[in-house]
Amino acid sequence: MSILFHKGDKVIVQGITGNEGRYHTPRMIQSGTLVVGGVTPGKGGQQLDDLPVFDTVREAREQTGAAVSCIFVPPLGAADAIMEAAAAGIELVVCITEGIPVNDMTRVAAFLKEHPTRLIGPNCPGVATPGAGKIGIMPYHIMQEGHVGFISRSGTLTYEVVALLTEAGLGQSSIIGIGGDPIIGTTFIDCLRLFAQDPQTAVVVLCGEIGGSDEEDAAAYAATMTKPVVSFISGRTAPPGKRMGHAGAIISGKTGTAQGKVDALLAAGVPVAETIFDIPELTRRALKQ
């Protein structure tokens, strides 16, 4: 098993005819992902690399049976793309787009409360299931099938740590990049709940960063889990009030500090790696326990 994305899930790509869609769609297919079409308003009826292009998500879903969408729509149109997918009945939406206005994501968050769609992102690298494929922009060749669940707010950190795990012979069950914006669709706790129920996952690696309280909330939930969790927090030297990379990675007052997150995780019994190079050994110890 795995979480969120499974082999054979039918995927459409919103924004398939744009530069990002054109570049990443073939790479998703090469990883094993079953991409069945794409959506670009006004270009319905065209073909792109033998894939049909539709004007609307509803049309694409009805004609292909897709239940998953990957969004490469530019920032000012991405929120509407997410809501269009949800309104069409898409079950899983993975939004890669960076730079969506917070006001737009506020509307999306309210809209999704009325729909059963799960959103991953925005501003995320996507999701992947080694042996089944990927949705998004992660480098698939660094992955290996196994029993380590992985969650991160950072795309680059995802690539670096997953590569280290694979090099150490620690394969992954599912890899989730939840995104680094202030408003995202799926949190650390959401992923921990899914991993807790996944029979293939034996241990979870959680990589957080400064800003917000998601890691502290995850620590409280991890304390209730029977499966072990290993963690890492980036941005320990970030100065207060200065955004570091992600829109959500900012220390405000006494909240969102790296030390506060580390303390919460340690108090919950979750080991925290000093550097990413310590993660494989901590993971190996957790598996032995």
Active site residues: 246
Buried b (16+ CB within 10 A) or exposed e, 101-138: eeebbeebeebbeebebbbbbbbbbbbbbbbbbbbbbb
For residue 81, what are the contacts with CB-CB under 8 A and spacing of at least 6? 14, 15, 57, 71, 73, 95
Residue 249 has phi, psi (to 5 degrees) of -95, 75
Q: Output the 3-class SS for the chain.
A: CCCCCCCCCEEEEECCCCHHHHHHHHHHHHCCCEEEEEECCCCCCCEECCEEEECCHHHHHHHHCCCEEEECCCHHHHHHHHHHHHHCCCCEEEECCCCCCHHHHHHHHHHHCCCCCEEECCCCCEEEECCCEEEECCCHHHCCEEEEEEEECCHHHHHHHHHHHHHCCCCEEEEEECCCCCCCCCCHHHHHHHHHHCCCCCEEEEEEECCCCHHHHHHHHHCCCCCCEEEEEECCCCCCCCCCCCCCCCCECCECCHHHHHHHHHHCCCCECCCHHHHHHHHHHHHHC
